[in-house]
Amino acid sequence: MKTLQLLIVSTLLLASIQTATAALDFPAAQTEKLNEAINGPQRSEKNRARDPFRHPLETLAFFDVQDDMTVVEIWPGSGWYTEILAPFLKEKGRFYAAGFDPQSTVPYFKKNAALFEKKVNGAPESYGKVEITILQPPEKLEIAPSESVDRILTFRNVHNWTQAGAATEVFKAMYKALKPGGILGVVEHRGSSSTTNGSGYVPEQTVIELAEKAGFQLIAQSELNANPKDSKNHPKGVWTLPPTLRMKEVNRDRYLAIGESDRMTLKFLKP
């Protein structure tokens, strides 16, 4: 038991050291510019309210996202991170938003693709250089030209791919788009070995194995987005917690007190 406890402590200490090192190594000028984007008027108040749970500055610094890079955000959803990344990369970098297929026969995908396009087109001063591509496995996997990208980022999406049986294809597509030496950054709801498919949670080892199978090397892990208050045993899975609160008024205060889900933050290298 003592050996196990020492191993757990060592692992957490290593994660905290890696996180601190990433923050120390991130250039001051990049931090300043990233903070400008995080605090910019293009961000909605609703999205700003999630910052204490999602730690955008620290997370993007951990992934070493700099303003002159070519970056792909995978399945940006309503654009929570796009609101930060697009203005940050607008002057010197290049930003691809690899979203849902607007021609999809699945109503959810079609509707959200249209909403995201409307958001981008409605604010050219912030999103005028966003390049929208499509990731809709198994047919549409060209998220960016082959070996053209410095960073690929995906936030809380892996559970969708595992549930659909498409995770292997998506990780291969991400590997193909990255330059050698490029980084894949993954934030995902963290489950346990007994996590059931459909809960929104994924075991950390499952994500690591999917990435390594595609050719990636795990180079760092962080507890930046961890939440020890999350028991991960909720009636509506991860969507029981905020911001979704799928149980509505049932135990609402309890779920608000827990906060958003416990999340892994993983950094992979394409050799």
The DSSP bridge partners found for residue 131 are 96
Rounded-to-10 torsion of CA 170, 107, 237, 49: 90
Cβ atoms of 149 and 182 closer than 8 Å: yes
Question: pLDDT tens for residues 188-211?
Answer: 999 988 787 899 999 999 999 999
* HEC secondary structure over 12-54: HHHHHHHHHHHHHHCCHHHHHHHHHHHCCCCCCHHHHCCHHHH
% residues pLDDT > 90 (the chain): 88
**Regarding beta strands 217-222 and 263-269, do their DSSP bridges make them parallel or antiparallel, or are they unpaired?**
antiparallel
Residue with tokens 């950094």: 267
- Domains of the chain plus CATH, in order, are 2-269 (3.40.50.150)
pLDDT of residue 37: 98
pTM: 0.90
> Which of these, 189, 157, 192, 197, lies nearest to 174 by C-alpha position?
157
Verify cis geometry, omega within 30 degrees of 0, for the bond prior to 76. no
Residues 6+ apart with CB under 8 A from 6: none
Q: pLDDT in tens for each of the 271 residues of the chain?
A: 434 344 433 444 444 434 444 455 899 999 999 999 999 999 999 999 999 999 999 999 999 999 999 999 999 999 999 999 999 999 999 999 999 999 999 999 999 999 999 999 999 999 999 999 999 999 999 999 999 999 999 999 999 999 999 999 999 999 999 999 999 999 999 998 878 789 999 999 999 999 999 999 999 999 999 999 999 999 999 999 999 999 999 999 999 999 999 999 999 999 9
Which secondary structure element, helix H or strand E, spans residue 56, and what is its range?
Answer: helix 56-62
Crossing angle between the packed helical segments 82-89 and 107-121, to the nearest 10 degrees: 40
